[in-house]
Amino acid sequence: MNTDKRKVVLIGTGMVGMSFAYSLVNQGGICNELVLIDVNKERANGEAMDLNHGLAFGKSNMRIYAGEYSDCKDADIVVIAAGVAQKEGETRLDLLQRNTEVFRSIVTPVVKSGFDGIFLVATNPVDIMTRVTYELSRFGASRVIGTGTSLDTARLRYLLGEYFTVDPKNIHAYVIGEHGDSEFVPLSQVMLATKPVVSILNDERNSYCIKDMEQIEEQVRTAAYKIIEAKRATYYGVGMALTRIVRAILGDENSVLTVSCKLCGEYGERNVFIGVPTIIGRNGVKEIVELDLTEDEMDKFRASVKVLNENFDGLAL
């Protein structure tokens, strides 16, 4: 991987992809070259023009252009936010199969270009599409990452911060599992500063209670549905989550983020890609931080793994 130039290729310049690109440009200093690729070349061209025209107002000095798969050759990160929408009457598995074909048309030419960096996937269902990317690319597992439950975790920390009236930065909590209905919050791992939240909830001198925690967890789980109901799609949040992960990689931060990555024996599981707290640095996954889950939390985790494995096993790769 080159160190002087930080080059990102974005494949899929729809709402999610461009929210990511826009936040990358606005946050500045993360990369100095951004290539946009989409099956709709005209769109990618228009988006590159639009972003370039805003550069003078931002703090980044970036080279932004619509490119080709050959441009992935010397990229550090390829972000995939391309996907097709569910058709009327189409099952989730049919959609998954169509998105797998979309990914085949993307991952194959990226690998053929000589790309030797890190794949970062946002397309839903993100855990499955990340595993599909891993299988199609045959890259090492540490170099294939999905956004996982990073956005869900940000939502959780925001809501817990509001609830306890504490800066979310001082709340340590994760949403883990599938980025979807079977995700959950291991309450035993939630800390306010270094104090376990469970002990705060059990303290009768305050009005905080477990019931409220369950409501917050439900709010996190259903947030995407609510946003989609109100404005048809969600994109800013995940765009910023992608930016955060890219910053952790290119800055070699070794930050802990709940990305989707391959389990290799952690939590007693193998092969599945799932959202877990993971140390992310210049080479992608440095280490999965294995939490000490309670038996009940382990049951929930295993149930989430089961959902993901069943979905993946139904795919023709």
Ligand X SMILES: NC(=O)c1ccc[n+]([C@@H]2O[C@H](COP(=O)([O-])OP(=O)(O)OC[C@H]3O[C@@H](n4cnc5c(N)ncnc54)[C@H](O)[C@@H]3O)[C@@H](O)[C@H]2O)c1
Q: Catalytic residues, which ones? A: 179
Interface with ligand X (CB under 6 A), residue from 23, 113, 124, 133: 124
Can the peptide bond before residue 125 be classed as cis, meaning omega within 30 degrees of 0? Answer: yes
E strand residue ranges, 13-160: 33-37, 63-66, 77-80, 118-121, 144-146
Question: Based on CB atoms, which residue is closest to ligand X, 30 or 241?
Answer: 241
Interface with ligand X (CB under 6 A), residue from 133, 147, 243, 304: 147
Contact flag: residue 48 with ligand X (CB under 6 A): no
Residues 6+ apart with CB under 8 A from 199: none
3-state SS class at 226: helix
Contact 120, 267 (CB under 8 A): no
Smallest distance, ligand X to C-beta of residue 61, A: 26
Q: Whose structure tokens read 């991987």?
A: 1
Beta strands 7-11 and 195-196, pairing class: unpaired
Interface with ligand X (CB under 6 A), residue from 122, 132, 171, 173: 122
Contact flag: residue 11 with ligand X (CB under 6 A): yes
CB atoms within 10 A of CB 300: 18
- 248-to-144, 254, 267, 312 alpha-carbon distances in Å: 14, 7, 24, 28
Smallest distance, ligand X to C-beta of residue 180, A: 10
User: What is the enclosing helix (H) or strand (E) of 263?
Assistant: strand 255-264
Residues 6+ apart with CB under 8 A from 113: 69, 70, 71, 72, 73
| Positions in 225-244 near ligand X (CB under 6 A) | 233-235, 238
Question: Based on CB atoms, which residue is closest to ligand X, 13 or 311?
Answer: 13
CB atoms within 10 A of CB 303: 13
Contact flag: residue 38 with ligand X (CB under 6 A): yes
Contact flag: residue 175 with ligand X (CB under 6 A): no
For ligand X (CB under 6 A), the number of binding residues is 30
Of 80-88, 200-208, 214-222, 264-272, the segment contacting ligand X by CB under 6 A is 80-88
Question: Based on CB atoms, which residue is closest to ligand X, 95 or 200?
Answer: 95
Interface with ligand X (CB under 6 A), residue from 8, 9, 10, 16: 16
Of 11-19, 167-175, 188-196, 212-220, the segment contacting ligand X by CB under 6 A is 11-19
Interface with ligand X (CB under 6 A), residue from 106, 120, 245, 248: 106
Binding residues (CB under 6 A) for ligand X: these are 11-17, 38-40, 43, 81-85, 102, 105-106, 122-124, 126, 147, 151, 179, 233-235, 238
